[in-house]
A and B are shown apart, each in its own frame.
Chain A
Amino acid sequence: MDTVTRKQLKITACKARMGIIEGVANAKSGHPGGSLSCVDIITYLYFNHMNVDPANPKDENRDRFVLSKGHAAPALYAVLALKGFFPQEWIRTLRKSDSKLQGHPSIQYTPGVDMSTGSLGQGISAACGMALGAKLAGKSFRVYTVLGDGELEEGQVWEAAMYASSKGLDNLVAVVDNNDLQIDGTCAEVNSPYPINEKFKAFGWNVIEIDAHSFDEIDAAFNAAKQFKGKPTLILAKSIKGKGVSYMENQVGWHGTAPNAEQYEQAMAELSASLKELEA
């Protein structure tokens, strides 16, 4: 990845982080931790990888994105707004009763959302269906889905994983946002999904492991996945929950809590400083 692209992606991702904090703080509820951990990947997909057109969000040949860990909706919304799918002002309406931005993604409400999600384990199945649709129609669009690591405890994920490799859905890429924290504690404490890489390999997937916050590694992984034929690809992305906001990083308490006014100011100050540094 060239320096300019990398710098631009970092700037966009930082702005998206500000969007996450803005949305969640205004809503006084939502899931900032897991949004901040996967926002670099979602930014990369929409700004440097997927074939999407904000002016034509239902284009039948577009690449699809399914946020299987639907509680990270603030990250998706922040990126969709920056990409131009809807006005930036919508971010401040997140979770309000007259908002187009529901607590979890809904295709009924929000342009650019390809699948309604929120109940864990279901998004990956829908993504399989979309990948299958591309194969049936002989179309070249690709399908991307992001799962949480805790989400792997849902049995449906493994039904889908078995199916995707059984049918050779190599137009499907699933990302596991491995921040290692779920509501009740660390993944290992609650119900260990590890070893995630070995499990997906055993299920017949092409597995790539990366740092979820390195755009070079993200870029290399998604490009490799595109070249890989015959199997779906699983990108195991080691991430930091709450990444980018110092007091939220690696803190399980920030899974589903909104920052108060003071915490909001601090988060925005930190992200503004990061943005200034990146833009310098």
Chain B
Amino acid sequence: MAEVIKMATREAYGKALVELGEKNDKVVVLDADLAAATKTGMFKKAFPDRFIDTGIAESNMMGIAAGLSTTGYTVFASTFAMFAAGRAFEQVRNSIGYPHLNVKIGATHAGISVGEDGASHQCCEDIGLMRTIPGMTIINPADAVEARAAVLAAADYNGPVYMRFGRLAVPCVFDDSYKFEWGKAVTLCEGKDVTIFATGLMVNEAIEARKLLAAEGIDAEIVNVHTIKPLDAEAVCRSAVKTGCAVTAEEHNIIGGLGSAVCEALCESGAPVPVVRVGVNDTFGKSGPAVELLHLFGLDAANIAEKAKKAVSLKK
């Protein structure tokens, strides 16, 4: 068996920025004194003239990103998810979202897998916050391969994008042959009993959960929802209607994120499909080693499998 490659999506983000910088001299990267952690430091090293550190002032950074983008640059603004979506929410809403400017927000350290730093830095609300901004695209890549592809695609798209990256090294789900399709939900494994809609690092957990379920005779379909907004509602409904029940899996509060988006799409479609949400259960995170926390908060294959069985039991 080939060795599983592990890499944090933030690492892939940094590398992809350098790749972009080499082919596009209009790419400028901003950071708020976290270049070493967000991995924009790689871009800083390669293109010091196109790297701008705004210091510990995220609100101002978002405004600068907005203004800079109006002068013809493709701007990537990076900080932790907590500060990008949380602290600077209103700047993102009013200075970037409302004028629909070409700013890409590279938000790293999302979710509880931040680990030891604890709840103050573990942002599980960012997808919910960003989802309510009209015209905002939200991408939450599953692994380093998808993260790279998403960054390159974001640069080709004209408008605001919120990209969510993690601190923790996670297994690569995809190989280099993977083709990223903007806005499309990707069926990774077909199944007939339940659909697991997963995003971010939960995609790998969903694939593991599928194995656990198979041992119990349940055939799960796995759909990777990398683009949470705009949601590929058609693909979501098609799969859920086919299997008859669904589980959503995300490293985010169960309120406001993928789970909410999937429920909204299914309810409005009129399909009578039960949905069970796996995520941070409307609570704050806490300190601890990342992997330990993921298990503690039920963000793992075992809990997804458990909830999949519950979803199956809810089928009429």
Report chain B residues within 8 Å CB of A236.
none
Give the distance in Å from the alpha carbon of A118 to the alpha carbon of B98 in the complex: 11
Count chain A CB atoms within 10 A of each CB in B49, B52, B71, B100 and give the residue with the most.
B71
* B60-A125 in contact (CB<8A): yes
* A137-B60 in contact (CB<8A): no
Interface string of A112-136 (1 = CB under 8 A from B): 0011101101111111111111101
* B57-A119 in contact (CB<8A): no
Report chain A residues within 8 Å CB of B66.
115, 125-126, 129
Majority DSSP secondary structure for residues of B touching A: helix
Whether A275 sits at the interface, judged by CB under 8 Å, is no
**Residues of A within 8 A of B (CB-CB), count:** 35
Whether B180 sits at the interface, judged by CB under 8 Å, is no
Whether B70 sits at the interface, judged by CB under 8 Å, is yes
Of the 9-residue stretches A24-32, A155-163, A193-201, A238-246, which lies at the interface with chain B?
A: A155-163
Interface string of B57-68 (1 = CB under 8 A from A): 101101111111
Whether B40 sits at the interface, judged by CB under 8 Å, is no
Q: Indicate which residue in B57, B68, B69, B94 contacts A159 across the interface (CB closer than 8 Å).
A: B57
* B70-A159 in contact (CB<8A): no
* B90-A119 in contact (CB<8A): yes
Give the distance in Å from the alpha carbon of A116 to the alpha carbon of B70 in the complex: 11
* B94-A118 in contact (CB<8A): yes
Whether A48 sits at the interface, judged by CB under 8 Å, is no
Report A112 CB to chain B, min CB distance, Å.
13
Residue on A with the closest CB to B63?
A125
* A127-B94 in contact (CB<8A): no
* B99-A162 in contact (CB<8A): no
Given contacts A132-B52, A163-B57, contact A116 B95 (CB under 8 A): yes
* A162-B94 in contact (CB<8A): no
* B63-A129 in contact (CB<8A): yes
Report A127 CB to chain B, min CB distance, Å.
6
* A128-B64 in contact (CB<8A): yes
Whether B28 sits at the interface, judged by CB under 8 Å, is yes
Report B59 CB to chain A, min CB distance, Å.
5
List 10 interface pairs A-B (beta carbons < 8 Å), by A numbering: A64-B70, A107-B99, A115-B95, A116-B94, A119-B90, A126-B64, A126-B95, A128-B63, A162-B55, A163-B64
Q: Which 4 A-B residue pairs are closest in the complex by CB-CB distance?
A: A125-B63, A129-B67, A133-B71, A126-B67
